[in-house]
A and B are shown apart, each in its own frame.
Chain A
């Protein structure tokens, strides 16, 4: 599938956005989906309309245990389970960004989305990326059609975020033909109906996990009842027990002790796709809420006529638009990195993994941002619905409850925030990313006379780009000072890491939004992009505010005296934005969405 990209993108490294100015022409924007990609999205939409949305209550009631596997079968018949699987194994070998699009659209499908993502993501990808040829031939065609359904068994009662501390054991039999797995796994999505389990266990006294492909038919697998959950109630979630489960040695996935690495790498995909799914869920909630706001009359007028409601509609839309901009920018970066690695002679699964690993920082950013935008959107969705929002009979109840898990699974948002900064600093230490030079330049700038120029420069987003650039400087300043202060012990300062992560996240998202709109202007002309321009400015304003506040908290947490004063002054300088009438901008955004009566981008 073709998407328009520039050759220059091939050189882009993960995390580099912080120190590299990206041209708008370099990024992929969702307005560039091909006809074929749009048709794929439409198929996903039609599937939800026909098979999922009319049955949401039934799905969530869990009274019929066949309903979810039945839906998966139907999705399989449409090819929705094989989008990432290469054609030689019975799939469709779509590029990464197209599979992101599928994740986005199906993301509106509540519990079904969770089952689908677990199967196609953490269930199938470990085999796709790490299995040997024989294992691939055996498992992938059946997973791509849905004949076999997959689950992923990593988490244990005492091993959640600290995944490598799992206690499940695998012991080699005396004849060397099989491993016997014993242990307990928890929160296993699709557990109730899965045929294949990707199981992580430690062989004997190994330090690291090893992964196995376990068929239900191997025996020794029992389960607890379905978990009772706050949301995604229709998604099967079980505790799975392995009691002398005999797994043939040929079912070890990859090498001994490579399991933790598999888990970490697969989570990169899970994270960025979770972000994409959240975008689809947001679009549905926004459309539903806007429609209600238009119909609901109070004081003789639609509540969508009120500024307080317009504020919500504009913010919901803007934040989602920004998240979407960043998601497909990163998705395309991953595709380009993959193509480049493939061209350099690397084999396909390795190239896919490497390309994802390269953009692991962006994956973590998008997981955090997407899930938090979704929680904001569902919260305001409830609020717009008022009393009906709190009613369990209305559509916002399910949306609100189902959204919440996204900040928890695929690595909590707290873990992902730490990871963002940890990965960034590690890359700097290893010399992959030169953060030192720009960080020094910022320190230099702090000591010099502030730059009052550029106010008279003309052109689209000149001021905004300066503000964005300054936002990045604020991040570099705070991060640089924190590293100098704590050195190796920075990892223990989770509050500061969280502040720094917020600066990083907002910088990336705001930049992506700005670049998307800039590219749109180049394609459609400024006059046809007024609402998008408003959104880019409104989002940037938000990003700068968050970065200012997070930066201040970080600096106050470790600096003192003159250094503190100097940095606070610098921060103030770096988080200054040209004033504009943000109320009117939000009203224009909301009016556009209200006129379309749905999320229109």
Chain B
């Protein structure tokens, strides 16, 4: 069995966000990058499946050379090899096209990724990849069990839980509690440098959208405390100052 896990290279969740170039570029200065947390769940489950089923596990990232430490961390966690598509992951459709191309070329049985990245949080790449490849795509997948050529999945839906049975191959967007994040161990770290990390060039340049600019949310204002007995003042402030009534 061949498993492909697609990972994003994203700012750590505690990063301070700022922009440069007239608010058209994310300022990466001093920012720590990590494997997207949802992708990390997908990777953790893939490592478990690999250990249980003897699969080969490839990680793929669409990104520039600065993503390589993140990719090597995935190798340290347990992937066998890695592909880096040498391009800025500028938009969902572009990224999905790259994944679909190389996934098809590699003939994978399982294509896993996070339910969404945590930088742009589009949450559409898995659906697009499924569509391009003509494969079922399911998200957010919270459990994934394999039984031969069939997989049992579950996901939470509005007001309940859905159990899904799907034949391989398919695409899944994953989230907790599909597996627990894995900390790379010393052996993994020391063998990561010997595992192949293949850099390939992007195919096509079709994009779905163009970025115009970023905007920071307005700074939080001061909190005004109003006495519980003074409803009139509250209404007045909501009407005239906050202008929400």
Contacts and interface: CB of A to CB of B under 8 A. Distances in A.
Interface of A: 35-36, 38-40, 42-43, 46-47, 50, 77-80, 82-83, 92, 94, 596-597
B36 to A, nearest CB: 16
Contact of A82 (B73, B186, B193): B186
A39 B183 contact: no
Contact of B187 (A39, A42, A47, A92): A92
B184 interface: yes
> Taking each of B16, B72, B183, which has the highest tally of chain A beta carbons within 10 Å of its own beta carbon?
B183
Nearest to B32: A42
A83 B186 contact: yes
Contacts of B107: none
24 contacts: A36-B189, A36-B190, A36-B192, A39-B69, A39-B76, A39-B184, A40-B186, A42-B73, A42-B184, A43-B183, A43-B184, A43-B186, A50-B183, A78-B185, A78-B186, A79-B186, A79-B187, A80-B186, A83-B186, A92-B186, A92-B187, A92-B190, A94-B186, A596-B30
Contacts of A77: 185
Interface in B181-209: 181, 183-187, 189-190, 192-193
Contacts of B69: 35, 38-39
B189 A39 contact: yes
B37 to A, nearest CB: 12
A520 to B, nearest CB: 15
A38 B69 CA distance: 10
Given A40-B189, A50-B181, A94-B186, 4 more contacts: A36-B192, A39-B184, A43-B186, A46-B183
Contacts of A36: 189-190, 192-193
Nearest to B186: A79
A79 B185 contact: yes
B193 A78 contact: no
A43 B76 CA distance: 10
Contacts, number: 43
Contacts of A83: 186
B185 A39 contact: no
Interface string B99-113: 000000000000000
Contacts of B73: 39, 42
> Taking each of A40, A80, A597, which has the highest tally of chain B beta carbons within 10 Å of its own beta carbon?
A40
A597 B14 CA distance: 11
Contacts of B30: 596
A164 to B, nearest CB: 37
Interface in B52-70: 69
A80 B186 CA distance: 7
B220 to A, nearest CB: 14
Contacts of A46: 183
Interface string B70-101: 00110010000000000000000000000000
Closest 5 A/B residue pairs (Cβ): A79-B186, A78-B185, A46-B183, A79-B185, A92-B186
Contacts of A38: 69
Contacts of A39: 69, 72-73, 76, 184, 189, 192
Contacts of A35: 69, 72
Interface in B147-186: 181, 183-186
> Taking each of A36, A47, A82, which has the highest tally of chain B beta carbons within 10 Å of its own beta carbon?
A36
A596 B193 CA distance: 32
Nearest to A597: B16
A77 B181 CA distance: 15
Nearest to A44: B183
A597 B190 CA distance: 32
Contacts of B183: 43, 46-47, 50, 78
Contacts of B16: 597
A36 B25 CA distance: 29
A528 B113 CA distance: 38
B10 to A, nearest CB: 15
A39 B186 CA distance: 9
Contacts of B190: 36, 92
Contacts of B72: 35, 39
Contacts of B76: 39
Nearest to A49: B183
Contacts of A47: 183
